[in-house]
Structure 1
Amino acid sequence: MDNYAEIYKSELLNEVVPFWEQYSVDQKYGGYFTCITNKGVVYDTDKFMWLQARQIWMFATLYQKVKPNDAWKKMALHGADFLESHGRDTGGNWYFSLNQHGAPLVQPYNIFSDCFAAMAFSALHQIEPLAKYEQIAKSTFQNILNRRGNSKGKYNKVYPGTRNLQNFALPMILCNLSLEMEPILGSDTVQEVTQSVIDLIMNNFYQAQSGLVLENVSDEGKFVDSFEGRLLNPGHAIEAMWFIMNLGLRNKDYDLVKKAEQIMYQQLEHGWDQEYGGIFYFMDYKGHPPQQLEWDQKLWWVHLETLVALAKTYAWNKSPKAEAWFKRVHNYTWTHFRDKENGGEWYGYLNREGKVSLNLKGGKWKGCFHVPRALLEIWKTLEKVTENK
């Protein structure tokens, strides 16, 4: 495993980061373009708040964890200025999208705009400690906690009182978001928030009998036999497990780390496509046809988050199983998602057979986040393993 740290470091610094530096900056109106083809052509100028915020976080984190590169700090501040000026409604809720100029397009129905805005301004405060960045991060985080019971608020399409479901995504995000924001939230707040969501994930969404993690459960934390209730998203569950491993290591709760490792493997083994390789996007808990027609696609973030989880597992226990699975997923991911012809950022969407479905490098759902974050996490994780030897 010794050589992998350098491979991931080189890809991050020589290919992926330069791609976003070259093609994503809107010098005229501020913020970033995310809809970019494999040739670096911007094909849509709408700006999606959670992707804007993710890119701010990414460049602030590079500045903090790799080196104090002034260009990276400037890039983060460029996005922050745009979000600060245009990103929120009068109630402090973050819109889903704006046009190129910064005028609202889609209402703030999606709480993940808020989650990544909080993460972005918290990271920015670490490299540029202005009171306004801390205030934005803290007020947004509190707004997230206030909306936990009904995150979509008045934009919720569900008929009230019929089939109320809890979704896995917000508890998962809160595990990582709270830890990311610990420097400004304080350890007590992080402990309080994360303990509640860990309990929810490990005792309600995780089904011990099957070993699988549901995407939706009832308000009482029970299985609901419906399309939504049977939904599995292996990549989501695997990503959550490396968040929980981080929290377990922070708290010296090694039983929790072992449990997260076990659950991670259960999702990976269940979600692996034995015929074509790679990890399915969606599955049905009972093996029925999923409602998502894209269920058998192979997505970039699913495989990269799995590699992060496996790298952290290997760093934790040096197990041959972690090493073998890491190499297997690495070979699939680097063979299929990496753009060997053009270089730069990676492709995001493959069909089941592993062929590229869309030639985009970024879009409405894919931006400067999962690829560079995973490359950074894996590089730093495996580098420590080598240093400790």
Structure 2
Amino acid sequence: MNTTPDFGQLAAESRDELLNNVLPFWLKHSLDRECGGYFTCLERDGSVFDTDKFIWLQAREVWLFAMLYNKVEKRPEWLECAIHGAEFLRRFGHDGNYDWYFSLTRDGRPLVEPYNIFSYTFATMAFAQLSIATGNEEYALIAKRTFDRILSKRSNPKGRWNKCVRGTRPMKDFALPMILCNLALEIEALIDPATLDRTIEECLHEVLDVFYRPELGLIVENVAADGELLDTFEGRVINPGHSLEAMWFIMDLGVRLRRPELIDQAVKIALRTIDYGWDKQWGGIFYFLDRLGHPQQQLEWDQKLWWVHIESMITMIKGYRLTGSQECLAWYERLHDYTWSHFKDPEHGEWFGYLDRRGDVLLSLKGGKWKGCFHVPRGLYQCWQILEQCK
């Protein structure tokens, strides 16, 4: 007989982990008091093992602490932390035209050109959220101008740094419309309603009418420029974590637009995706899969990653909260058990990021080139808030 979980206890667990374990880890170890910005390459115990600074990780940490300051509590140390990172980004993160570099040296000298559109998206999120926290008009202007740059680059995000030969096999990928679904709501207060509405509708079309394939019941990562499927490495790849994360973005848009059919479709896609992506032998969600069952080009295809599981937890508990789906609730409980038992570090703060297929820790780092102060604390915050509503 199924029993309803103790939502109050689960909410308190997420809240305590966020406020008393994860956030103190980053506040203690990540702030570079000498050069500004944050260290993100942190060993298990928080010691720094590399001092390069990656723009999207810098921006994500700014956003995270500004968001918590705005939505949880006006803690001065949170606002100070967010401003600390934002000022480093404001001075060094872009080329003067709001083209945001990928990485910098510790003291802010550019290392990698602005080829990565996600440096832009997270800079927009960061400065938009911090402008709300501070009322600083310059921060709001940075967010708006960066958002304009994103829209202008949508058809060719990498610009002159695109390594593909133009015209041979033109493709578009799922990641940008996916993130814009979330970004549109993040910057809603700073852009005109017509631009917001247009951006949301375009993203919904891309996600649900182009990348979602009803014949598969799945979202593909790449399609041809005309929206057709491609029988190539890139065209066959399925990233279950991306798909599942996108579905809670779609649910949020469904709430915002008062369109319950969007929520229902997101839940349907999410349930199909997690069943497809779940490792039936060892548990956890695969990182990449080939939709035709061919060998993957990504050697890390069978690893279990922190963000995939945390984002999936958000999706499933949000799906349950909005629709009452018992299937979503069962998957949330299954994901919770796997994620908390495998990724949480019982000896030091924060969570591990990379497990092998069997669920053993593959890398002991707490932050690096791709993992920073974002998915774990955002996921804990989201789950805490949703679980409170389920009580």
TM-score (norm 2): 0.97
Name the CA distance, whole Å, in 2 between partners of 1:115 and 1:199: 20
Aligned residues: 385
| 2:214 matched residue in structure 1 | 208
Q: Does 1:346 align with 2:356?
A: no
Residue by residue over 1:126-158, the C-alpha shift from the partner in whole angstroms, topping out at 9 and shown as x without a partner, is 111111011100000000000001000000000
Out of 242, 245, 251, the position equivalent to 1:239 is: 245
After TM superposition, the structure 1 stretch with the greater mean CA deviation from structure 2, 185-194 or 44-53, is 185-194
* Structure 2 letter corresponding to 1:352: R
SS of equivalent to 1:105 = strand
1:7 alignment partner in structure 2: 13
Matched, 1:164 2:170: yes
Tell me, in whole angstroms, the C-alpha distance in 2 between the residues paired with 1:264 and 1:187.
29
Q: Is residue 30 of structure 1 aligned with residue 36 of structure 2? A: yes
Q: How far 1:275 moved relative to its partner? A: 0.1
Shift of 1:258: 0.2
Shift of 1:277: 0.1
Secondary structure, counterpart of 1:228 in structure 2:
helix
Please tell me whether the aligned partners of residues 11 and 388 of structure 2 are also in contact (alpha carbons under 8 angstroms). Answer: yes
1:226-261 deviation line (CA, Å, top 9, x unaligned): 000001100000000100110011111111110011
2:388 corresponds, among 365, 380, 383, to: 383
Q: CA deviation at 1:69?
A: 0.3
Amino-acid identity (%): 51
Q: Secondary structure at the match of 2:234?
A: coil
Alignment of 1:174-253 (within 5 A): 174-253=180-259
Q: How big is each residue's C-alpha offset from its partner over 1:153-210, in whole Å with a ceiling of 9 and x where there is no partner?
A: 0000001100111010000000000111111124432221011111111111111011
2:193 and 2:130 map into 1 onto residues whose CA distance is 19
Do the aligned partners of 2:61 and 2:373 also contact (CA within 8 Å) in 1? yes
| Aligned partner of residue 248 in structure 1, secondary structure | helix
Secondary structure of 1:360 counterpart = coil
Task: Read off the aligned partner of 1:205 and give its amino acid letter.
Answer: F
1:91 corresponds, among 88, 94, 97, to: 97
Correspondence for 2:343 among 327, 337, 344: 337
> Could you tell me which residue of structure 2 aligns to residue 130 of structure 1?
136
Cα distance 1:243–1:132, how it changes in 2: closer, same or farther (>3 A)? Answer: same
Q: Quick one: distance in 2 between partners of 1:235 and 1:281?
A: 7
C-alpha separation between the residues in 1 aligned to 2:196 and 2:65? 24
Counterpart among 323, 330, 334 of residue 328 in structure 1: 334
Which residue does the alignment assign to 1:105? 111
CA RMSD of aligned residues (A): 0.8
1:336-356 Cα distance to aligned partner (Å, 9 max, x none)? 1000122x1100000000000
Structure 1: runs of 5+ lacking an equivalent: none
Distance in 2 (alpha carbons) for counterparts of 1:385 and 1:327: 14
Give the Cα–Cα distance (whole angstroms) in 1 for the partners of residues 302 and 322 of structure 2: 31
Aligned partners of 1:148 and 1:121: how far apart in 2? 20
Is residue 59–residue 122 contact of structure 2 (8 Å, CA) maintained in 1? yes
What secondary structure is seen at the aligned counterpart in 1 of 2:383? helix
Distance 1:383 1:320 in 2: 18
The letter for the 2-side match of 1:248 is: G
1:356 to 355, 358, 361: 361
Q: Which runs of 5+ in 2 are unaligned?
A: none
- The whole-number CA distance in structure 1 between the counterparts of 2:192 and 2:242 is 27
Q: Distance in 1 between matches of 2:223 and 2:216?
A: 15
